[in-house]
Amino acid sequence: MNSALLALAAALFTWGLGEGIFFFFQPLYLAELGADPLQIGAILGGAGMAMTLVHIPAGYLADRFGRRPLLRVAWAGGLVFSLIMASASTLPVFVTGLILYSFTTFVIAPLNSYVTAARGKLSVERVITFVSAVFSLGMVLGPLLGGWLGDRFGLRSLYIAASGIFVISTVFMFSLPPQPIHDSASDFSSKKLLKNKQYLGFLALLFFIIFALYLPQPLTQNFLQEERRLSLGQIGSLGSLSALGNVVLNLFLGQLGARTGFLLGQFSVALFAFLIWHGSGMELFGLGYFLLGGFRSARSLAAAHVNSLVNDAQMGLAYGLTETVSAFPLILAPPLAGYLYSTDPASPYPFSLLLIFVGIILTLIFFPRSTTQLPN
């Protein structure tokens, strides 16, 4: 593994550690600052919308002006916006920092482009799932540190600690070497990308599958608390197992081809839904949450496969479109999950299983074959 990927891994691990410190406690801090449940939902929904809107412009800019400048802007911006959250003493100031921080999600498309170009002899599947696993490893450790700090120093201390760790992460990020910009304007054309029927068909398949895989997730914590009588501590430990599953399954499935790993990721989430629906006891619920890591793996492998469907000059824009298509189901699926839950708390799981198995069949039939890539 080359020095660029090692520096990037260090930046991602430390950022995941810092973000993990506060991420799972964010709704609690919003409540502490005076937000009611409806306001918390609206604030987090606004943050989610901000995350969805930025991927396509970021991918376009990465192709035009280079990947490293956008990575640096994202890291520096995230550090500044985390400091706003850490210094906020009122809800409006904190929400401003939170929404601005959410916009830095634009980093995903240039990040995937950068690691694809820097991968050396590694396959695209292996390198993208590797960086995802490194970030998730930080997210495993972050909540443990956040819980310890929150109990002793209060929730505001989480953002102060995270900002300090982000400084270290930003130092690693600014050590990354630059990459050349593709010089073929005709290959870069966004119109040419939008005429790529194989790529567009893959996006349609991806939208359906991400929707199916996300549908059983939004209200599972509620189901476990209200129907299976789990405590908050038990639910929190399941969250850590989920993050650990992200690490292990990303590393394992990344060794396989994109199509095989993509299918196994779907089977993993199907088993999660089945175990939550029919399981009893922390052992089975814990196994289910560990297997939920297949969701993140499936998204990573889908992004990795995009590289084989488009020209290198369009890589950033293609990754941006792919992330946008993957993000919209995360907005659309929760209302359906809420409706199903209101009719019968268990109903999201059999309905999700039906959609997941339809998605598996569609993948077997329509998952596009790789095309020959032009050299960098």
Read off the pLDDT of residues 36-93 as tens digits, 9 standing for 90 and up. Answer: 766 776 787 778 788 888 888 888 788 777 888 999 999 999 999 999 999 998 999 9
- Give domain status of residue 181, yes or no: no
140 and 205 inside one domain: no
8 Å CB contact between 320 and 60 = yes
Name the CA radius of gyration of the chain, rounded. Answer: 20
- Give domain status of residue 63, yes or no: yes
The predicted pLDDT at position 224 comes to: 86
8 Å CB contact between 63 and 188 = yes
218 and 89 inside one domain: no
Cβ neighbours of 178 (radius 10 Å): 11
167 and 220 inside one domain: no
60 and 191 inside one domain: no
25 and 95 inside one domain: yes
- Give domain status of residue 178, yes or no: no
SS3 assignment for 264-306? HHHHHHHHHHHHHHHCCCHHHHHHHHHHCHHHHHHHHHHHHHH
Instruction: Write the DSSP symbol of residue 253.
Output: H
Here the tokens at position 119 are 């991968």
272 and 332 inside one domain: yes
Segments of the chain scoring below 50 in pLDDT = 184-186, 372-376
- Determine the Cα–Cα distance for residues 262 and 209; give it in Å rounded to an integer: 10
Among 173, 197, 212, residue at a domain's last position: 173
- Give domain status of residue 374, yes or no: no
Q: Which amino acid is at 43?
A: I
The predicted pLDDT at position 196 comes to: 83
Domain CATH number, residue 322: 1.20.1250.20
151 and 260 inside one domain: no
The predicted pLDDT at position 71 comes to: 93
DSSP letter string over 24-74?
A: TTHHHHHHHTT--HHHHHHHHHHHHHHHHHTHHHHHHHHHHH-HHHHHHHH
Could you tell me which of 303, 39, 17 has the C-alpha nearest to residue 164? 17
Predicted structure pTM score = 0.76
The predicted pLDDT at position 232 comes to: 60
Q: How many separate domains does the chain show?
A: 2
- Give domain status of residue 375, yes or no: no
Here the tokens at position 27 are 């709704």
Structural domain boundaries, residue 127: 3-173
- Give domain status of residue 180, yes or no: no
240 and 151 inside one domain: no
335 and 220 inside one domain: yes
43 and 83 inside one domain: yes
141 and 236 inside one domain: no
SS3 assignment for 145-201? HHHHHHHHHCCHHHHHHHHHHHHHHHHHHCCCCCCCCCCCHHHHCHHHHHCCHHHHH
- Determine the Cα–Cα distance for residues 316 and 277; give it in Å rounded to an integer: 39
Among 173, 202, 235, residue at a domain's last position: 173
- Determine the Cα–Cα distance for residues 332 and 353; give it in Å rounded to an integer: 17
- Give domain status of residue 281, yes or no: yes
- Determine the Cα–Cα distance for residues 244 and 238; give it in Å rounded to an integer: 10
Could you tell me which of 107, 209, 94, 202 has the C-alpha nearest to residue 158? 94
- Give domain status of residue 238, yes or no: yes
- Determine the Cα–Cα distance for residues 205 and 355; give it in Å rounded to an integer: 12
197 and 147 inside one domain: no
Among 114, 141, 173, residue at a domain's last position: 173
